[in-house]
Structure 1
Amino acid sequence: MLTHMTTEPEQQIGVGTQDAFQRLWTPHRMAYIQGENKPSGPGADDGCPFCSIPAKSDEDGLVIARGEHVYAVLNLYPYNGGHLMVVPFRHVADYTELDGPETLELAELTKQAMTALRLASGAHGFNIGLNQGSAAGAGIAAHLHQHVVPRWGGDTNFMPVVGNTKVLPQLLADTRQMLADAWTLR
């Protein structure tokens, strides 16, 4: 959600030096930076959002599809529009902890996600991956989740490089509905 953008340099107010940069204010990212919705510990009962999402409605939890062992859910802090994750229902931290049926369904829902994203948004490519452990960049290391990030030619511009900000053109609820509809059409 874009809440404020200046087209003129900010006026000097009290401290700081006026410059020629435009500012995109994205205060909703502060929740992520401060660790909101991150588990307080390693267990399923320690506030894990991936354990609580399945109890919500698809709309409230931003769930796109549910399988027997895993589900697909939109990322609350997406890198691109349509960025989703495939998550096992069972609270496991490491890929090697998945059993055979969970591993197979994780792979199958990832394929289905790619198909739905191509159908719904014309994605040209994907970044797909697991960040195993906090040292590898996992924001919620206690519960395994595989990222599926749609990509388009030219989708990276100056904003993430210079401004460390990603501009997303669609609300998450609208993206969830678009992908859920496409999922059933595949």
Structure 2
Amino acid sequence: MSEPDGLERLWTPHRMAYVTGSDQPPGCPFCDAPQHSDEEKLIVARGTSVYAILNLYPYNPGHLLICPYRHVADYTELTDQEVAEVAAFTRKAMVTIRRASSPHGFNLGMNQGSVAGAGIAAHLHQHVVPRWGGDANFMPVIGRTKTMPMLLADTRDLLAKAWSSPAP
């Protein structure tokens, strides 16, 4: 038996399927998602060579992933067109999220390889994470728990509507 560490536990057994990968069908989820409806797979927008999809396990509400349709693992494998559209979608995602929920800032990034933190290392994806002052409150720091104030389907609807609406 281990020594007590003084931490309270908030049990989240539903996350075990994510941790073990047992909730995922075989194959690449980023290759599979575009084969389904936007609402079913939480796709916010589709382009010619990339699409924007909500992260199923977001750091914050509105956490988008910009994914090429083509199955490539490394940024250097993208074509010039794909690089340009990843950049354009990243910029559009920031504009859209600002319009929809007024974040104070963003984290942008790609984790290249599992050692760098990529959960799905075989298919490149750009993270667009909205940030608000105080979004790293006591829950994740002390309680080691992240609270999410909005359901993913509602977030997808909000961002999809804002994505397609004209700029103010």
8 Å contact kept, 1:29–1:77: no
Which residues in structure 2 correspond to 1:4-153 (within 5 Å)?
Answer: 23-36=9-22, 47-153=27-133
String of CA shifts for 1:11-42, please: whole Å, max 9, x gaps. Answer: xxxx9999986543333322221124568xxx
1:165 aligns with 2:145: yes
Q: Could you list the runs of 5+ residues in structure 2 that have no partner in the other structure?
A: none
8 Å contact kept, 1:127–1:147: yes
Please, what TM-score do these two structures have when normalized by structure 1? 0.82
1:16 and 1:142, CA in 2 relative to 1: closer, same or farther beyond 3 A?
closer
8 Å contact kept, 1:116–1:182: yes
Q: Could you list the runs of 5+ residues in structure 1 that have no partner in the other structure?
A: 1-14, 40-45
String of CA shifts for 1:123-179, please: whole Å, max 9, x gaps. Answer: 110000000001100000000001110000111111111222110011100000000
What percent identity do the matched residue pairs reach?
64
1:17 and 1:112, CA in 2 relative to 1: closer, same or farther beyond 3 A?
same
1:126 and 1:36, CA in 2 relative to 1: closer, same or farther beyond 3 A?
farther
Letter in 2 for 1:110: T
Structure number with bigger Rg = 1
1:176 aligns with 2:152: no
Please, what TM-score do these two structures have when normalized by structure 2? 0.90
RMSD across aligned C-alpha pairs, in angstroms? 2.2
1:48 and 1:65, CA in 2 relative to 1: closer, same or farther beyond 3 A?
same
Between the aligned partners of 1:166 and 1:127, the Cα distance in structure 2 is 17
